[in-house]
């Protein structure tokens, strides 16, 4: 309990300092003033400030503390009419109790909404991974085939007379490397579909983007797309949820691949880039596909809006929700001379500390 309490304090020190100062000012004003008003009803503002903590336990503690200060103030007050003070204190306690109850209910409903959104985002990830199933199986089958070939080669080198231990060792080293490659692919897929709550970690965006590109590499090859990436090497670490941001990048890249499938092979080009200026980091996915009509650019991020025959219209809507939750902006625009560019920006205010 004590550890949890200290965790609250260190997470949002300015919020708790503001709550403590405001509560102290109300307590002093309620105790020393001789005005016949329900001064303690101002504790309602303190409870509403506690809602920003996002924790029902913290809201309840603040509500109880405000009620206790109201009672203590009543007994310490030496001015004014006692009966009026009792009535005002009672009214204040009712207001504090009602506000605390409503604030906790609102926070509980918000928590359920966030959980539902998280589940929806996970379902979206599962759908994307399902679409990538063939490519992922192909990506894993390559190192597995190589492992079998190198295993047989190692057995032959060891069975030879005399045995060639150097060649056998090199074959075994290749087995270890291929096994690691297969494990990496499986690990990326597992991380992408994991049932995990949004986190706020320090993210290396270039590394996160490269992991996504490894997953779609076979899909890019299969569609005969000329692919380039321009990822700045000096991007700062950003604070956010790595899996969610990877979901957005994967969604944008998969949409670009699908758009390119509609045009001739000779014109299929895909560029994934990431760069930073003084204020923000920008990640963009440019394709030379069929593009998006200008009149649809304003509605393409709305839920259930889709141009795909089998689409649900949730991918871009969830992507926008994720980016906005990270304090950023998602956008779409025509690409020159053809196609579309989708991307997002994250403010450098959201960079990871330390």
Q: What is the pLDDT along the chain (354 residues), one digit of tens a residue?
A: 555 566 666 667 788 888 888 888 888 888 887 665 667 788 888 888 888 777 788 888 888 998 898 888 888 877 667 777 778 888 888 888 999 999 888 888 887 877 776 777 777 767 776 666 766 776 677 778 888 888 888 888 888 888 888 888 988 988 888 888 777 777 766 766 665 556 677 889 999 999 888 878 878 888 889 999 999 988 888 888 888 888 889 889 988 998 898 888 888 999 999 999 888 999 999 999 988 887 777 778 876 566 665 555 667 887 888 888 888 999 999 998 889 999 999 988 756 554
Topology classification of domain 199-345: Heat Shock Protein 90 (3.30.565)
Which CATH entry fits the domain spanning 118-191: 2.30.230, 1.10.533, 1.10.287, 1.10.3470?
1.10.287
Q: How far is CA 317 from CA 113, 120, 312, in A?
A: 16, 11, 10
- Residue 28 sits at the vertex; the CA angle it makes with 25 and 29, to the nearest 5 degrees, is 85
Q: How far is CA 76 from CA 26, 64, 229, 242, in A?
A: 14, 18, 70, 53
* C-alpha to C-alpha distance for 20 and 287, rounded to whole angstroms: 53
What pLDDT score was predicted for residue 310? 56
- Name which of 325, 200, 336 is nearest 344 in CA terms: 325
* C-alpha to C-alpha distance for 300 and 309, rounded to whole angstroms: 15
- Helices (H) then strands (E): counts for the chain: 10, 7
Burial class (CB in 10 A: 0-12, 13-18, 19+), 80: middle
Residues 6+ apart with CB under 8 A from 42: 26, 29
CA–chain centroid gap for 169, Å, is 44
Q: Is the dihedral of CA 337, 343, 348, 351 positive or negative?
A: negative
Q: How far is CA 223 from CA 44, 218, 256, 261, in A?
A: 60, 9, 11, 7
Model-wide pTM > 0.85: no
Domain residue extents for the chain: 118-191, 199-345
* C-alpha to C-alpha distance for 76 and 70, rounded to whole angstroms: 10
* C-alpha to C-alpha distance for 124 and 164, rounded to whole angstroms: 52
């Amino acid at each position: 309990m004590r550890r949890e309490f200290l965790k609250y304090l260190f997470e949002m020190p300015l919020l708790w300092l503001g709550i403590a100062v405001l509560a102290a000012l109300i307590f002093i004003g309620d105790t020393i003033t001789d005005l016949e008003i329900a001064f303690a009803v101002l504790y309602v503002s303190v409870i509403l400030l506690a809602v920003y903590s996002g924790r029902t336990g913290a809201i309840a503690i603040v509500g109880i503390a405000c009620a206790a200060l109201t009672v203590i103030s009543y007994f310490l007050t030496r001015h004014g009419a006692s009966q009026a003070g009792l009535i005002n204190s009672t009214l204040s306690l009712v207001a504090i109790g009602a506000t605390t109850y409503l604030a906790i209910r609102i926070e509980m409903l918000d928590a359920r909404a966030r959980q539902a959104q998280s589940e929806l985002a996970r379902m979206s990830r599962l759908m994307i991974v399902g679409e990538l199933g063939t490519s992922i199986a192909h990506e894993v089958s390559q190192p597995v085939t190589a492992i079998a070939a190198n295993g047989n080669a190692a057995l032959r080198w060891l069975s030879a007379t005399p045995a060639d231990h150097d060649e056998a060792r090199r074959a075994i080293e290749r087995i270890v490397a291929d096994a690691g490659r297969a494990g990496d692919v499986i690990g990326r897929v597992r991380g992408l579909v994991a049932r995990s709550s949004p986190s706020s970690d320090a993210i290396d965006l270039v590394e996160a983007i490269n992991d996504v590109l490894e997953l779609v590499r076979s899909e890019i090859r299969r569609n005969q797309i000329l692919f380039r990436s321009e990822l700045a090497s000096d991007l700062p670490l950003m604070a956010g949820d790595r899996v969610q941001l990877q979901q957005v990048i994967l969604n944008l890249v998969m949409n670009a691949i699908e758009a390119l499938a509609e045009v001739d092979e000779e014109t299929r080009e895909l560029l994934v880039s990431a760069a930073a200026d003084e204020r923000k980091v920008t990640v963009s996915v440019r394709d030379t596909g069929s593009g998006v009509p200008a009149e649809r650019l304003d509605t393409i991020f709305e839920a259930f809006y889709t141009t795909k025959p089998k689409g649900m219209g949730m991918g871009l809507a969830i992507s926008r929700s994720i980016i906005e939750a990270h304090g950023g902006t998602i956008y779409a625009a025509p690409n020159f001379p053809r196609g579309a560019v989708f991307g997002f920006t994250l403010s450098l205010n959201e960079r990871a500390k330390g």
